[in-house]
Amino acid sequence: MLKQVRTALQVAAATAVVATSMYAGSAGAATIIDEWSSIKAPPAPALHAVTVDPKTTALLMLDFNKQTCNMQRRPRCIASLPQVEKLLKAARAAGAMVAYSLGGGGHETDIAKEVAPTKDEHVVSSGVDKFRNTDLEKVLKDKGIKTVIIVGTAAHGAVIYTASTAAMLGFKVIVPVDGVSADIPYAEQYVVWHLVNAPIISNSVTLTSIDQLKF
């Protein structure tokens, strides 16, 4: 009997040691912050050539006003303007709808002159999600728009939120990566990765470049 009790105690003690070790290992597990410098970026997503129907497509020009697109804060936005201007001219020539947004408290007159709206092009003012508290969804749907092309700044602000909402509202979303900018390249990188990997929205998003996009 004494031997059985001693054996039971030994088993219990061993179990306690194992449990304590497991808890200690769990409590000390590395977080994403601890692993930060060792994480390798996944392969770059593919860009696709795209041809759109101008009758059912709108180009959304997000926050190209001087408060958010300037050399001091986002020189990468300024660098994107020649390509965005090329896209804008192509969209207008094809008769596609063009709509603008303003960020950072800007006004229409603050939009970079290279890509400024005409008097007939719709402009909304909002935070990072350009559908929130604006008539953008109604305006697009009233025009029979099924696809939106999104360019603008910042990638991690207006672009990611507006593209995500557009996808969840049922629009097809096309993002020319050379028309999207942020403060630093990493922000553009993680947004591009997110758009084609996030649940639900990734099924509606296509990445392209301005030269690969045709009307």
Reading the block at residue 54, the tokens are 């101008």
Asked if the structure places residue 176 within a domain, the reply is yes
With cut-offs at 50, 70 and 90, classify the pLDDT of residue 27. low
Asked if the structure places residue 90 within a domain, the reply is yes
Position 186 pLDDT exceeds 80: yes
Position 22 pLDDT exceeds 90: no
Rounded Cα distance between 97 and 146, Å, is 11
CATH classification of the domain holding 160 = 3.40.50.850
Asked if the structure places residue 130 within a domain, the reply is yes
What is the percentage of the chain residues whose pLDDT exceeds 90? 87
- Per-residue pLDDT tens over the stretch 106-157: 999 999 999 999 999 999 999 999 999 999 999 999 999 999 999 999 999 9
SS (H, E, C) 174-209: EEEHHHEECCCHHHHHHHHHHHCCCCCHHHHEEEEC
Rounded Cα distance between 34 and 40, Å, is 14
The β-bridge relationship of strands 180-181 and 147-153 is parallel
Asked if the structure places residue 88 within a domain, the reply is yes
Asked if the structure places residue 187 within a domain, the reply is yes
Rounded Cα distance between 121 and 151, Å, is 16
Report the range of poorest mean pLDDT among 3-17, 36-50, 61-75. 3-17
pLDDT at 11: 41
Please, what is the average pLDDT of the chain?
91
Asked if the structure places residue 162 within a domain, the reply is yes
pLDDT at 29: 83
With cut-offs at 50, 70 and 90, classify the pLDDT of residue 65. very high
The H-or-E segment that residue 163 falls in is helix 160-168
Domain that holds residue 75: 52-214
The β-bridge relationship of strands 147-153 and 57-62 is parallel
With cut-offs at 50, 70 and 90, classify the pLDDT of residue 21. very low
Asked if the structure places residue 72 within a domain, the reply is yes
For the residues 23-37, what does the mean pLDDT come to? 77
- How many structural domains is the chain composed of? 1
The β-bridge relationship of strands 122-125 and 172-176 is unpaired
Asked if the structure places residue 153 within a domain, the reply is yes
- 35 vs 40, 48, 95, 192, CA distance in Å? 10, 33, 49, 22
- Per-residue pLDDT tens over the stretch 189-199: 999 999 999 99
CB under 8 A, 24+ apart: contacts of 113-117? 114/81, 114/82, 114/84, 114/85, 115/61, 115/64, 115/81, 115/84, 115/85, 115/88, 117/61
pLDDT at 25: 46
What is the value of pTM for the model shown?
0.86
